[in-house]
């Protein structure tokens, strides 16, 4: 099984620098409303759900299940997916370290940061738990 696709580096901006700094430390942050407790992803400084409350970034456990996926039949094939974190939010990601034919919706997966092209921060991918 080849795992040679090098993802392009994300481009942090001032509002997401904390998220990507945490990624370099191996931590996946999600947004939490300090008043209502609602969680969102990708994190942003203004809560997408509630007008009240501030957004704080809290670490996710890094476990979840595959919500959907597709094997992209590119020159270097890869598995793109939405993973539903155990905390609730669904996030776009890749499934790595698994034979493509073994990937299933509902499969339990765990976080594994992967390096990106150049000097960029690593990105959150998932592998079978």
Q: How far is the CB of 9 from another protein (least distance, A)?
A: 7
Q: Who's near 82: CB < 8 A, 6+ residues apart?
A: 66, 67, 68, 69, 90, 91, 92, 93
- Which x/- pattern, by CB under 8 A, does the window 55-94 give for another protein? ------------xxxxxxxx---x-xxx--x--xxxxxxx
Instruction: Count residues near another protein (CB under 8 A).
Output: 44
If we measure between CA atoms, which residue out of 91, 90, 65, 69 comes closest to residue 78? 69
Give the C-alpha separation, 80 to 74, whole Å.
12
DSSP reduced 3-state for 107: coil
Q: Are the CB atoms for 52 and 36 separated by under 8 Å?
A: yes
Q: How far is the CB of 28 from another protein (least distance, A)?
A: 11
Query: Which lies closer to another protein via its Cβ, residue 38 or residue 128?
Result: 38
Residues 20-39 that bind another protein (CB under 8 A): 30-31, 39
Among 1, 13, 99, 102, binds another protein (CB under 8 A): 13
Q: Can residue 110 be called a binding residue for another protein (CB under 8 A)? A: no
Interface residues with another protein (CB under 8 A)?
5, 7-13, 16, 30-31, 39-42, 44, 48-49, 67-74, 78, 80-82, 85, 88-94, 100, 105-106, 116, 123, 125
């Amino acid at each position: 099984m080849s795992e040679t696709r090098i993802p392009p580096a994300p481009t942090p901006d001032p509002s997401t620098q904390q998220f990507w700094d945490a990624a370099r430390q191996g931590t996946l942050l999600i947004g939490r409303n300090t008043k209502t407790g609602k969680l969102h992803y990708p994190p942003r400084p203004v809560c997408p759900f509630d007008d009240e409350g501030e957004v704080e970034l809290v670490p996710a456990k890094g476990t979840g299940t595959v919500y959907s996926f597709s094997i992209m039949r590119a020159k270097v094939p890869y598995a793109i997916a939405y993973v539903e974190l155990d905390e609730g939010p669904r996030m776009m990601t890749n499934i790595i370290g698994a034979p493509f034919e073994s990937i299933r919706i509902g499969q339990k997966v765990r976080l594994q940061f992967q390096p990106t092209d150049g000097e960029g921060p690593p990105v959150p991918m998932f592998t079978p738990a």
